[in-house]
Amino acid sequence: MKLRQVLAHLRKKLGENPIANNPSLESEVLLRHVLKLSRSRFLLESDLELTETQIEELDNLLQRRLQGEPLAYLLNNREFFGLDFYVDHRVLIPRPETETLVEEALAYFDNHNIASVADIGTGSGAIAISLAVNLPHDVEIYAVDSSAAALEVASLNCQKHGVSTRIKLLQGDLVQPLPAQLDLIIANLPYVPSAEVASMPSARYEPVKALDGGENGLAEITRLAHQLKEKPQAFQCLLLEIGFGQSVGVISIFHQMFPDSRIETIKDLAGIERVIKLVNHD
């Protein structure tokens, strides 16, 4: 079969299934992935004959997509903050809204003397690596995750972006493995209420532990607040990603633990309160 015929077939199949947000785009992306073609080359190769092996690989990817598997896992790739990251079932797929955390971290760095940064719940390493690429080389960067499997993926991405010597990967529970003194702490913890996790299409494929935030979605965030208070972890600023409608509850938790701190909310591009910023020492 020729490329244009296969493309039409993919568009038809994906168009008949509500899982695909943009059947035309997804069809092209899958084809280019299998054929290893740039977009410009792809547009010029409509008469290219596909091999049986390529058609079988495409059919396998199509069936997985029709069953609901996220495109990022089929491609083993997700773009985040202008960088390409390897992803698989060991880690959560980085979300566009999480870029707000990186933007706020870089903005805070521009206005403060920052020597050390920690990324809690690093997963694929997207946040820590995005910071390493954009911050001076003398800034110490730590990336923590409780999952050894997730840290394997983070390590692959550190190598991919040439920052393995810049980022210290640590396995452990929240801030426990970190040094006592840190300037900036960034945390993207599970915050989806348990009852909602089961209804998420991606929950069949993504690590549930990285999504499930307990009954009200705030279990891990509450544990983080307690650890920061009890360790104690000296820090200037905490940037924490939250879910829709969680700002009041999260602010209440941290006000109890850090009554003298300054807390504000930051909205993402969709206008949703996405980040809690707690300034402990300004």
pLDDT in tens, 171-180: 999 999 998 8
* pTM, full prediction: 0.93
Domains of the chain: 3-68 (1.10.8.10), 90-279 (3.40.50.150)
Strands (E), 100-204: 116-120, 140-145, 167-171, 184-187
Burial track 23-43 (b if 16+ CB lie within 10 A, e otherwise) = beebbbbbbebbbebeeeebe
pLDDT more than 70, % of the chain: 99
Q: What are 244-278's pLDDT values in tens digits? A: 999 999 999 999 999 999 999 999 999 999 999 99
